[in-house]
Chains A and B, each alone.
Chain A
Amino acid sequence: MMKSVRQMSLRRMGAALFGLAVAGVALAAAVAPHTARAEVKIDITRGKVEPMPIAIPDFAGPGDAGRFGGDVATVISADLERSGLFAPINKAAFIQDLPSLDTQPRFTDWRTINAQLLVQGVVEPQPDGRLRLAFRLWDIYGGEQMKGQAYVTQPENWRRVSHIIADEIYKRVTGEDGYFDTRVVYVSETGPATKRVKRLAIMDQDGANHHYLSDGSNIVLTPRFSPTAQEITYMSYYNGSPRVYLLNIDTGRQELLGDFPGMTFAPRFSPDGNKVVMSMAKDGNSELYDMDLRTRRTSRLTNHPAIDTSPSYSPDGQQIVFNSDRGGAQQLYVMDSQGNNVRRISFGDGRYATPVWSPRGDLIAFTKMKGGEFYIGVMRPDGTGERMLSNGFLMEGPTWAPNGRVLMYYRQEANGAAPQLFSIDLTGFNERRLVTPQGSSDPAWSPLLP
């Protein structure tokens, strides 16, 4: 009896061992082919850096509305081309015609001319006199629609809607917000250098819809947009002394900001639009102050015998970058928005000025003076990765496009000609002049329009 039990348990043990062994083998068998069959893995680390070919045929439309079709395509095309990231294909190369495109894009036709993206659109008049603009963005190689959207608007708004469509395309393709539906305010300069008339002017980002905001009777400097794009703060002279003003673009109403004992300058809005930070100079010393626009209460942020100026908020509003000569030469510093924890971030030779924090948060742009020349450069907020994007006899006043990808600034040559506006991609390529009716300086790029 006992024996049989023992034997049984032994046998069971054996069986268990055998089972284990079998399981082990099975496991090995299961694992081995898996590893052997692992997918082929390939690392791709190189590619081309060049604008993406995009086809933008005229937007199709019946009769009267149809005449907008070509203009809309032209505006979109120009926006995308100017970004340096897209290469619109000459319409003469198109194989598929508009009517057939309306039914379905023939992807092979577009592949033939090397298009990677296709924008197909229509303009349709509505019974109430408005226009309906609709577009589809096609991925030629994937053969699928990446984006589709329609807008109904008054005919006179066609240009703005075109910019909005360009922004949608830009956003879908690059993953970042566009900046085409924006405006630029700047200081227009006319007359001889000794007696220059400076007026505030505003225009669309592509130079269209240009007009003046001031008559030139007072000198204006350093205009800056509020985050709502409805207001501008700038410096002008009042009784011969520079003061910071606030101007509502729509109403034209202008007001003096703050009742400071000294002169105030270099104003800039906080990202939430509730505050303005600026410099106030008195007795040869300048300090930074902020002012709450709701309560009009001001508070002092720096307290140092050196000159502190050109403050600019980080996009989260928690920090401020500014320049100061407290360390000897003029360098860039960052502090909390309350004025604490000041630390220096620039250490190169030369002098640094007009820092501007990118809306994207990853870079700070600045002007640098070194060896008798000016540079527009960028560095990370911790001071690393400094790079000079452009240089010249005189260049200054960088301002970021709202997506933090492109910078605008002004440049003046040694020959005394009037200054001109330029833009450049943060990679340092694609520098372009923005044509203005007169000389132009101190540009400020608006946020995306609401």
Chain B
Amino acid sequence: MSDHDSGLRRSLILSVSVHVLVGALSYLGLPFLSRDMPVEDAPIVIDLVEIAERTAAPPPSAKQKEQVAQKVEPKPEPPKVEPKPEPPKPEPPKPEPPKPEPPKPVEPPKPQPQPPKPEPPKPEPPKSEQVDPTLPPEPKKPDPKPEPPKPPKPEPEKTPPKKPVEEDPFKDLMKNVEKYRQQPKASTPPPSQAAPSAPTQGATNSANSPRILNAPVADRATMSEKDAIRAQIEQNWVFDVGAKGIESMVIVLRVYMNPDGTVSKVDVADTVRYNTDSGYRAMADTAKRAVLKSQPLKYPNQKYEEFKVLELSFAPRDRL
């Protein structure tokens, strides 16, 4: 009995150790398997940016026209840069088809066939900072003012001079007469009023509906499609720069969309704060209003599954 027993044990040990050995070899050493095995224990996070075949990111290009003078690649083709991620290829080899060993399957998470987009790396153009002042909140002043030619008043139209040293992004959204006076108003480009709104709108339309619809892309949202929605909503978002604490406020909305692009529901993610902080509620309302006013949202209809729930985060940094 014990003989039989020890024999069995020996064979069992042998079996187990051979399996382990084979497993280990296949994992670490077997030359024919290791040719291009990526190093697995330190997965590299890749920003996978998806781009429609015909990328027509509308808002950026329109804007860029105005600011040619500025830095940043003149090519309105933002995609060029990040697309590095092309090589999602390398991943496939990872399968450990070698052995149907048991221990392996425990670490499946590594197979990141498509590292989820970790955040749109926004290949956006610059941020038009102070280039387009559009209209200051200045409503028509009633001005029965007796001595009209006030020096400080006329200036506001002028864009704040280029000097983004700011620790405070909002400085540029507010007026500082001292700055105006120090910098002769000569050089700043004229407030190109009409440009931003009209063209963007047009571009958005044409970019979306026809072209992208036909594009044989995967069913995931591309940067250009997101940009189109972003542009649409930014056109309709009106916020108050002087609101208290606005520089640190971020409003996250969850938007439920119908297939036709209309919005069935908009939820503020942080309902607790929405119900207790009146300033937060006021800004969240401006964001909701922007979404509702933008209906129907333009998106490629065959990607409804992807677009039916949007998570939008609103953080005012700049004026259109």
Contact = CB atoms under 8 A, between A and B. Distances in A.
Interface of A: 2-3, 6, 10, 14, 17-18, 20-21, 24-25, 27-28, 31, 35-36, 38-52, 81, 84-85, 87, 116, 139, 141-142, 146, 171-176, 360, 362, 375, 377, 384-385, 387-392, 404-405, 413, 415, 417, 420, 425-433, 435
B175 A427 contact: yes
A398 B147 CA distance: 21
B38 interface: no
A391 B152 contact: yes
B320 A47 contact: yes
B178 A41 contact: no
B297 to A, nearest CB: 10
Nearest to B277: A175
Contacts of B5: 2-3
Nearest to B112: A35
B309 A413 contact: no
Given A28-B109, A40-B310, A389-B176, 5 more contacts: A43-B120, A116-B289, A417-B146, A428-B156, A431-B141
Interface in B278-320: 278-283, 285-290, 292-293, 306-307, 309-320
B234 A44 contact: yes
B27 interface: no
B244 interface: yes
Contacts of B181: 391
Interface residues of B, number: 93
Interface in B259-285: 277-283, 285
Contacts of A375: 177-178
In this complex, the member of A51, A175, A391, A435 whose beta carbon has the largest number of chain B beta carbons within 10 angstroms is: A175
B138 A84 contact: yes
Contacts of B156: 428-429
B230 A44 contact: yes
Contacts of B311: 39-42
B84 interface: no
A425 B242 contact: yes
A63 B144 CA distance: 35
A153 to B, nearest CB: 26
Contacts of A430: 137-139, 141
B102 A49 contact: no
B119 interface: yes
Given A43-B230, A47-B320, A141-B289, A24 B310 contact: no
Contacts of B320: 46-48
A224 B273 CA distance: 36
Contacts of A176: 243-244, 278-279, 282
A85 B319 contact: no
Contacts, number: 234
A45 B315 contact: yes
B130 to A, nearest CB: 13
Interface stretch (B67-75, B166-174, B183-191, B203-211): B166-174
25 contacts: A17-B102, A21-B105, A25-B108, A28-B109, A35-B116, A36-B114, A39-B309, A43-B122, A45-B316, A50-B137, A81-B139, A85-B240, A139-B289, A141-B289, A141-B293, A142-B285, A174-B279, A175-B243, A175-B277, A175-B281, A384-B168, A387-B171, A388-B179, A427-B174, A429-B138
A46 B175 contact: no
A297 B291 CA distance: 59
**Which 3 pairs show the lowest CB-CB distances between chains A and B?**
A428-B175, A175-B282, A47-B237
Given A141-B293, A431-B141, A47 B234 contact: yes
A185 B175 CA distance: 28
Given A17-B102, A25-B105, A435-B144, A388 B136 contact: no
A360 B238 CA distance: 23
B22 interface: no
B145 interface: yes
A388 B178 contact: yes
A390 B177 contact: yes
Nearest to B173: A49
B94 interface: no
A172 B278 CA distance: 8
Contact of B147 (A116, A174, A417): A417
A372 to B, nearest CB: 12
Contacts of B135: 48-50
B95 interface: no
B136 A49 contact: yes
A147 B105 CA distance: 58
Nearest to B197: A48
A428 B174 contact: yes
Contacts of A432: 141-143
A225 B177 CA distance: 29
B314 A44 contact: yes
A142 B253 CA distance: 14
Contact of B312 (A10, A42, A174, A392): A42
Contacts of B179: 388
B241 interface: yes
Contacts of B238: 47-50, 52, 116
In this complex, the member of A28, A47, A116, A433 whose beta carbon has the largest number of chain B beta carbons within 10 angstroms is: A47
B137 A85 contact: yes
A149 to B, nearest CB: 16
B102 A18 contact: yes
B229 interface: yes
B8 interface: yes
A420 B318 CA distance: 35
A195 to B, nearest CB: 22
A425 B108 contact: no
A42 B242 CA distance: 24
A41 B120 contact: yes
Contacts of A171: 278
B163 to A, nearest CB: 13
Contacts of B8: 3, 6
A45 B176 contact: no
Given A44-B234, A175-B281, A426 B242 contact: yes
B221 A40 contact: yes
Nearest to B252: A41
A46 B176 contact: no
B177 A175 contact: no
